[in-house]
Amino acid sequence: MLPMHWVKIKIRMLEQGIYTQKALAQKLGVNPSTVTRLLRGERRSRRLEQQIGEILGIHPDGKRTRRK
């Protein structure tokens, strides 16, 4: 999973104006249940993890990145 705890991911979502997992799923172009399984650690997808990191400004080492 992303190198951040799911609570920190949720905080970053809120900071980016993404208020629900459904909204994040829409940005990713996937089913909301896919995002739920990713955040619970029930599913792995490097591609989706990378996309989430890009959307939320999370560097692969877990540090925040600046959004343009």
55 CA to centre of own chain? 7
- What pLDDT does residue 58 have? 83
Q: What was the pLDDT predicted at 1?
A: 47
Beta carbons of 33 and 42 less than 8 angstroms apart: no
Q: Is the dihedral of CA 26, 33, 55, 48 positive or negative?
A: negative
pLDDT in tens, the chain (68 residues): 455 678 888 899 999 999 999 999 999 999 999 999 988 888 889 999 899 989 998 876 655 555 54
Q: Identify the pLDDT of residue 32.
A: 96
Cα–Cα dist 62/68, whole Å: 18
